[in-house]
Structure 1
Amino acid sequence: MSDGVFRVLTGPVTGGDPATDAARELIAGLVLRPWGQVASSVYETGRLVADAPWLPGHHQRIGFLLRGQRPDGAWGPPEGYALVPTLSATDGLLAALAAGRAGTDLLAPVARGLRALTGTLLATDARELPDTPALDLIVPALVDSINERLAGLDRATADRLPRPPLGLPAGLGADRLRAVRAAVAAGAALPAKLAHFYEVLDATPADAGPTLTAVGASPAATAAWLTTAGPEAGPAAHAFLRELIRDRGGPVPCPIPITVFERAWVLSGLRRAGIPVNPPNALLESLAGATGAEGVATGDGLPTDADTTSVALDALARLGRPADPASLWAYETADGFCTWPGSEDGFSVTTNAHVLDAFGQHVVRHPDADGRYHRTVDRLSAVLPEHQLADGRWQDRWHASPYYATACCALALAESGRGAAAAEAVDRAALWVLDSQRADGSWGRWAGTVEETAYALQVLLAAPTAGPRVDDAVDRGHAYLHRPTGGEHPPLWYGKELYCPTAIVRSAVLAACRLAATRTPGVDRSVADCGYQATKTTT
């Protein structure tokens, strides 16, 4: 990005506050990449290899899958999180092998993928698998697809591959997939959020047409529809995919577009940390949908949800454009607030923490607000501690790391919570963070990461807990964020598979560095370089 473009989008560089300058550059990226900045997806790329070889970049997508295969034959993060990406990549490479366009070079990778699936991943009990969205639809669909492809191979190729029919994990059946597909075939109206998974539903989007940009904020769903309907049926969607592929050299991310989600999280997080930002009016206007009757969606192609609506409202309030959070009443339930009204199983602590942020911002500015608003703050101040685990952390269904959930809850309770239970919960969270710091100063579920370290620091810096132990932990964590890592952030956010929204992660790291630098002003560390080495290679 040229200096001239940077200045037009964000105003003049301050020259005196590295945090502000880094935030301005980050916000400029939100404008220049309005669909969002998300790392490439093994699952989505595998679906394009299998379902849309006619799209540009087919061989580059195959190369991306081959480079991403682990030594054990699987793809993706540890544990059961590898199941969905391994199924998709194996199925995609098997489709390319069957098409005969890659010679026999794909035999060995496909064989390793099949062995990883039969050896460990599919042998797992379904109760031990992560609760990623639509896993009970995706896994049966891909297992069936792989079995069909194996059955259709020529004898010479088939004899060189392991060929036992793949089975489903114990406790996971195909009944829901069959029921949804039958409903689609019968013309039933399905919940809007199922558009995100159209590639496994044999479905046609209800709003399909020439102006549709993306089906369910998913390149795979969009490509599956265009493969069936033809590119001429959706010229806008076809243009979207071609531009996305050209921009990224073949592989594709998911979810995308995430326009409002990305902007809300970035702006809210930066302002909460006290970093002065003055985003262009267009960015603020994109959040204004949160003030409508049903709130706002993560991005085009997805339904409105309470999580994005809450963070958008919080960002608007912190940026001097407060709005009534009445749109959130549509999501209220007996247990708290759901992410989607009438179509969600389970309880999300992070969604409810963000709802507390939104109502907390409102009652601070309007202490004479209707009693219902104050009662909601009181209620969530009690509900969130009730979901805190015994060791002091929170765990959620939208992020693999407890540090994210713990930061969301602890920050909301520290700023807007009421009563002794809220204060005690923040203290317990800080103690858990202290006890779980790694020897190198980092925090993380599987290994130390700059993202999780940023969340842990935010918890410590929001809690009233003080003393030499806290100071030492903050200093070591802050130092860790300045060590060059030379790689990308691991995916930790829940989607069809784990994914990484890189701009959001970058903003969390900047916020943590700013807060830590404010706490220890004598330490000479550049906020602008904080965590930079782990993000500069992502797109």
Structure 2
Amino acid sequence: MSDGATRVFADEATAADPVADAARELIAGLALRPWGQVAPSVYESGRLVAGAAWLPGHHQRIGFLLREQRPDGAWGPPEGYALVPTLSATDALLAALADGRWAGADLLAPVARGLDALTGRLLATPARALPDTPALDLIVPALVESINDRLARLDRTTAERLPRPPLALPAGLGSDRLRAVRAAVAAGAALPTKLAHFYEVLDATPADAGPTLTAVGASPAATAAWLTAAGPAAGPAAHAFLRELIREADGPVPCPTPITVFERAWVLSGLRRAGVAVNPPATVLRTLAAATGAEGIATGEGLPTDADTTSVTLDALARLGRRADPASLWAYETADGFCTWPGSEDGFSVTTNAHVLDAFGQYVATHPGANARYHRTVERLSAVLPAHQLADGPWQDRWHASPYYATACCVLALAEFGRGAAAAEAVDRAAGWVLNSQRADGSWGRWDGTAEETAYALQVLLAVPTTVPRVDDAVARGHAYLHESAGRQHPPLWYGKELYCPTVIVRATVLAACRLAGIRASGVDRSVVDCGYQSTKTAT
């Protein structure tokens, strides 16, 4: 499988074309905005409105929440993904209503619609049917408790104008874990590092926070909670970090942030895999070098090291000709494959394991005499990933809402490094599923057609070395859709406290797909190969 289309594309280098120009400009921006670029978050912005009104941009964040409310009263993406952002926004607007600094008449109707959406649909969904977003069993009980408390303390005049039934937790979800974690934090217990990401709902602050800390748990909300409790003077670096985020977005804040390593690794790995020539600044490469250490590397400051980020970083380094021994990944090996965090994770991630296959596959491809354990790992993952494939051909994962992302991760890894008949058969089945799920307008997507999901689908089809006319037609239609949809906002699809969009990673994914589709089309008009993503220099 290592001689497939993916390897061919990885060796392709072209000079002076729109995709390469746009990619170079995108990569230059990685060093200019080292915290990463993530779209504004309803959940995080709501937490700042509710608990950190002293920060600049308070009124702009309220305005952002009001603009983002859906006609049905909820906030956020479809289905159960709307629960967490709707709880956060409703609680935030109730806090603003009680504060009195925003006209109450402007807030009453949005609060009422939010409460109706919660009681009528979202909280009525059983816990087992809700998406497995991180710490949902902490966030939902904490926000339901907060909303009920705020409703109980409303003045009589306001209360009479709002529905006031106590909100109930979804069936099957309780408050026991939240109470236990809060009690442990209050008692000074050492908790897993990744819990710092959720400190805004734990009624406590991390013991190691201090003046040089930039961000608590890579979360503006967690950082603001600490500064609110400790005072801005206790964390000048964190205060400056929040003010800069607020300034850039004129009020609302993103999450997760910082995502320094995550953004750089995914961008560089994806572009280089597609054959886009890149020459990242030395400052960018230095941030990735830690992945070759004994413990791997974390997504960004304030988060624990993890196998997913470590693997993609190693893959990026290898594709750039840098040392990338994946020995640090042995710490994440389990009986089932590889976990994302050692000793603190429920469930299995196919995308983490696909990325681990990339890391080990890269190493054995350039070190054929490597220790037998490395080769056994490639063989093992070549069987593990097909075993988790769904019956009709895709994969689904816990870090992304779309099956097209998980399917692309698994197909690219298996097509390039997979061994055995099971790997080859899994790739063919996945390509068949993608081919049969294309929309009439040429796009692909879980809820609606999106550029991001269309890019993943194209990568799957282009990883299969075939010239079947139906595949070529699907690729051409998908490529045309990317060109036509350039400039549209990318919806949030990545798992965090709520779904979020890492904008630069998504843009790099689209660029990579455009490069691959342009190569496949051979005689295509070069003016559309860029899919509309021209650099500012070529655009002018």
> Would the TM-score normalized by the shorter structure come out above 0.5?
yes
* Displacement of 1:532: 3.8
Question: What is residue 94 of structure 1 aligned with on the other side?
Answer: 94
User: Structure 1 376/121 Cα, relative in aligned 2: closer, same or farther at 3 Å?
Assistant: same
Distance 1:463 1:528, change over 3 A: closer
Alignment map for 1:323-472 (pairs within 5 Å): 323-472=324-473
Q: Which has the higher contact order (CA 8 A, sep 6+)?
A: 2
Cα deviation, residue 233, structure 1 = 1.1
Q: Give the counterpart letter for 1:441 in structure 2.
A: G
- 8 A contact 1:126–1:172 mirrored in 2: yes
Secondary structure at the counterpart of residue 498 of structure 1 = coil
- 1:465-513 per-position Cα deviation (integer Å, ceiling 9, x unaligned): 4411101100000000000465310000000000000000001000000
The residue type paired with residue 102 of structure 2 is A
CA–CA distance in structure 2, aligned partners of residues 485 and 157 of structure 1: 46
Q: Is the 8 A contact 1:427 1:465 kept in 2?
A: no
Instruction: Report what 1:17 is aligned to.
Output: 17
Identify the residue that residue 268 of structure 2 maps to in structure 1: 267
Q: Post-superposition shift, 1:66? A: 0.3
Q: TM-score, with normalisation over the residues of structure 1? A: 0.95
Residue of structure 1 equivalent to 2:228: 227
CA contact (8 A) 2:22 2:533 kept: no
Instruction: Say whether residues 1:178 and 2:179 are aligned partners.
Output: yes
After TM superposition, the structure 1 = structure 2 runs for residues 121-270 of structure 1, keeping only pairs within 5 Å, are 121-270=122-271
Look up the equivalent residue of 1:30 and give its one-letter code: L
Alignment correspondent of 2:77: 77
Cα deviation, residue 247, structure 1 = 1.4
| Residue of structure 2 equivalent to 1:307 | 308
Residue 463 of structure 1, CA deviation: 1.4
SS in 1 for 2:476: helix
Deviations 1:148-187 (A, max 9, x none): 0000010000110000000000000011000100111111
Residues 364/15 of structure 1: CA separation in 2 closer, same or farther (3 Å cut): closer
Q: Which runs of 4+ in 1 moved over 4 A?
A: none
Q: Which moved more, 1:519-528 or 1:167-176?
A: 519-528
Partner AA of 1:246 in structure 2: R
* Deviation readout 1:44-94 (Å, 9 max, x if unpaired): 000000000000000000000000000000000000000000000000010
What is the correspondence of 1:268-283 to structure 2 with a 5 Å cutoff? 268-283=269-284
Which has the larger displacement, 302-311 or 482-491?
482-491
Give the number of equivalent residue pairs.
521
In the TM superposition, 1:468-507 aligns within 5 A as 468-484=469-485, 486-507=487-508
2:527 alignment partner, SS class: coil
Shift of 1:464: 3.1
SS of alignment partner, residue 494 of structure 1: coil
CA RMSD of aligned residues (A): 1.3
- Distance, in Å, in 2 between the alignment partners of 1:317 and 1:182 is 45
* Gaps in structure 1 of 5+ consecutive residues: 1-13
**Could you tell me how far apart the structure 1 residues matched to 2:403 and 2:473 are?**
22
Deviations 1:396-441 (A, max 9, x none): 0000000000000000000000000000000000000000000000
Deviation of residue 525 (structure 1)? Answer: 4.5
8 Å contact 1:506–1:531 — kept in the other structure? Answer: no
Provide the C-alpha distance between the structure 2 equivalents of 1:287 and 1:223, rounded to a whole number of angstroms. Answer: 28
Distance 2:527 2:306 in 1: 37
The CA deviation string for residues 97-137 of structure 1, in whole angstroms up to 9 with x for no partner, is: 01111122100100000000000000001110000000000
Q: Give 2:421's aligned amino acid.
A: A
> Once the two structures are superposed, what CA deviation does each residue of 1:440-472 show, in whole Å capped at 9, x if it has no partner?
000000000000000000000001344111011
Alignment-derived partner of residue 40 in structure 1:
40
| Distance in 2 (alpha carbons) for counterparts of 1:434 and 1:445 | 14
C-alpha distance in structure 2 between counterparts of 1:261 and 1:34, whole Å: 11
* Structure 1 residue aligned with 2:6: none
Pick closer, same or farther for the CA change 1:527–1:294 going to 2, 3 Å.
farther
Q: CA deviation at 1:18?
A: 1.6
Indicate how the Cα distance of structure 1 residues 527 and 348 shifts in structure 2: closer, same or farther if over 3 A, else same: farther
In structure 2, the residue matched to 1:3 is none
Conserved? CA contact 1:514–1:527, under 8 Å? no
